Chains A and B, each alone.
Chain A
Amino acid sequence: MSSRTETVKPPTETRKSAEGPAWKKIYQEIPRDVVILLCAFLVMCAVFAILKPQFLNFRNILNVFRTTAVVFILASGQTFSILSAGIDLSQGAIVSLVSVVTADIVIKYGVFWGIVAGLFAGTLAGFITGLFVGKARIQPFIATMGMIFIASGGALVYTGGIAIFGLDRPIYQSFFWFGGGYIGLIPVPVIAAILVGIIVYFMMYRTQFGRHVYAIGGNEKAAIMSGINAGRTKLLIYTFSGFTATIGGVILTSRILSGQPHLGGFSLLMDSLASVVIGGTSLMGGEGGIFRTLLGALIIGFLGNGLNLLGVSTFVQQIVIGLIIILSVWLSILRSKRA
């Protein structure tokens, strides 16, 4: 007899109007917290620019975009996991695995097969994780944590613990293109990030799969009752998340021209998570999206760069990122209408 028929008060963003110029309509669509985040971002950049004018240097900005690109690629996959009320902790480890496999095969069979092998290895790892979560119904954080063991262990087994060098020889020059090359003025990683972003955009908003992800994250029971195959969707989510980590791994390996079994460490994972979380995608699932993640990745990227220019130790940056993650989640809980 405790039927609570309470109605939650609608948000006070009733600044809707049917008419008006296009830009105004778009502006009204943007949620308030994103606007705040955007402002915070601009303020932060302004502060950095004042303190260190090199911040606005074209070269510097290009560099930031180059490094942020990889984080964004990983974070796009992570966004799917978190939207489904899950998480993928294995992205870092998959990067390591891909790194050694790619490097090794490139040396043995050439650039093309090296990349194919790397893509295969990483996506397979994601697929296995997907089986754990989707079919065996193991909690995502345990499954992906176990996969960290398996993937990084696999990477280390593969190379016996040592790094694989020798990719800097001229024969492999084409490989370097992926991480260090340019298309016109734009670094290849950034192009890759843009491509991934567009693909993810379509997946998330324009396919049945994307809708299913939101539905499962929003209310898994209702989603199942609506006929959605939760197990299959989750399998796809983690396979894709692994796939994005794979792409990131190829790009990073290409940049450093070696196969490093420790390439994708904890910080890469944290940056990926931080981008998603700071952007405002809810850990509880069903709310958020790729644009927020993009904003989050940019914030993380420029924050790190600004702090670097100010000579702040990377360790402090680590502390800051950890703190930001905690605060972002706390804020989203306070704001949350679902608590």
Chain B
Amino acid sequence: MNPQGNREMEVSTRIQDSFRQKLAGFHLENLFLFMAFLLMCGVFTVLSPAFLTFSNILNVLRQSSIVLFLASGQTLALLSAGIDLSQGSIVSLVSVITADVMMRGYGVSAGILAGVGVGTLCGFINGLWVGKARLNPFIMTLGMNYMASGVALLYTGGDSIFGLPKESLEIFGWIGEGDFCGLPVPLILGGLNLAIMFFFLNHTKLGRHIYVVGGSEEAAIVSGINVPRVKVAIYTLSGLLSAIGGVILSARCISGQPILGGGTLLMESIGATVIGGTSLFGGEGGVLRTVLGVLIMAFGVNGLNLLATSTYMQDMIVGGIIIFSVWIGILRRREG
């Protein structure tokens, strides 16, 4: 127990007081998860020397920050006992809009603004229907997923947008592949996101209300919380975060692709959130846990890659892990 124990102490002494309170609230499952993560990294390090290299780690972190953005939004949805299945196509839609605006010569800022705006709008529409019309979030975001993807494809007629103008290319590319003070830009953005989300969930009223709504909607109503408004906020934020993730991903590919978010991105987002321990039933979990989930998935997949495991095999493994995590969650619920 000692090596892990020492490392854990290192971690906690570096964290501020408010963080420590939350850490003190960490229970056995999280500890177990963290240890599982370390164990996994240990195994990969032994099996593949390339794993623990600085460049590899940085690369994984760079890519995983995209998932972190999506997963933070997903965490919000799950905390309220909902889910956001539209994240993938919001990424695609944002990608093509951003690229197109830049192609028309309006510049990077306008492009990003437009893209993020559209993504947030999609989230807002989700929120309206889930919050006000009381539609099942599952069906609503599933439908939105299909629609947004259709809009993205329609927008470009199915083609991808390459060859961005030179002025935009540099800045845009920097967002995805560049460094800032030695660290990858996406990583810094991800870190900022993490800090803001943590703060939001734990230190603001709205953040609290999200937990209450997920924990027990009746209790929320009785406490005078405006439940519809909270839900609108949740899905709007999730759309916003997905949009940012979409911008970063597009920046990495320096192009606009209408199927950019169509792969396993949504699964990774949900998977990370669920593996991290945020409950599907709502009311329990948080961004720190999600970060852990993101790291586990990201480094897990990376390790498997380095071991030359087929990506498809990886998909299967990830699917299995997600189901397993949910199962554990259900067993726990039944005991508690």
Contacts and interface: CB of A to CB of B under 8 A. Distances in A.
A and B touch in the complex (CB under 8 A): yes
A315 B312 contact: no
A86 to B, nearest CB: 12
A166 interface: no
Given A141-B138, A318-B149, A326 B315 contact: no
A317 B145 CA distance: 14
Given A137-B330, A330-B129, A161 B136 contact: no
B79 to A, nearest CB: 16
Contacts of B149: 266, 318
B181 interface: no
Contact of A142 (B140, B157, B314, B326): B326
B323 A146 contact: yes
B154 interface: yes
Given A145-B267, A153-B319, A330-B129, A322 B310 contact: no
A224 to B, nearest CB: 15
A318 B151 CA distance: 8
B224 interface: no
Interface in B134-185: 134-136, 138-140, 142-147, 149-151, 153-154, 157-158
Interface string A68-89: 0000000000000000000000
Given A141-B138, A283-B139, A153 B316 contact: yes
A317 B150 CA distance: 8
Interface in A179-213: none
B310 A313 contact: no
Nearest to A277: B139
B305 interface: no
B267 A149 contact: yes
A306 interface: no
B287 interface: no
Contact of B139 (A139, A146, A152, A325): A325
Q: How large is the interface on B (under 10, 10 to 19, 20 to 34, 35 or more residues)?
A: 35 or more
A157 B319 contact: no
A317 B147 CA distance: 9
Nearest to A152: B315
Interface in A123-151: 132, 136-139, 141-143, 145-150
Contacts of B135: 326, 329-330, 333
A67 B330 CA distance: 40
B318 interface: yes
B323 A157 contact: no
Interface string B262-290: 10100100100010000010000000000
Given A139-B280, A142-B323, A319-B151, A326 B318 contact: no
Interface string A301-339: 000000000000111111111110110011001000001
Contact of B150 (A137, A141, A318, A329): A318
A283 B139 CA distance: 9
A318 B147 contact: yes
A142 B310 contact: no
A160 interface: yes
Q: Which 9 A-B residue pairs are closest in the complex by CB-CB distance?
A: A149-B319, A318-B150, A156-B312, A153-B315, A322-B147, A322-B146, A153-B316, A319-B150, A315-B154
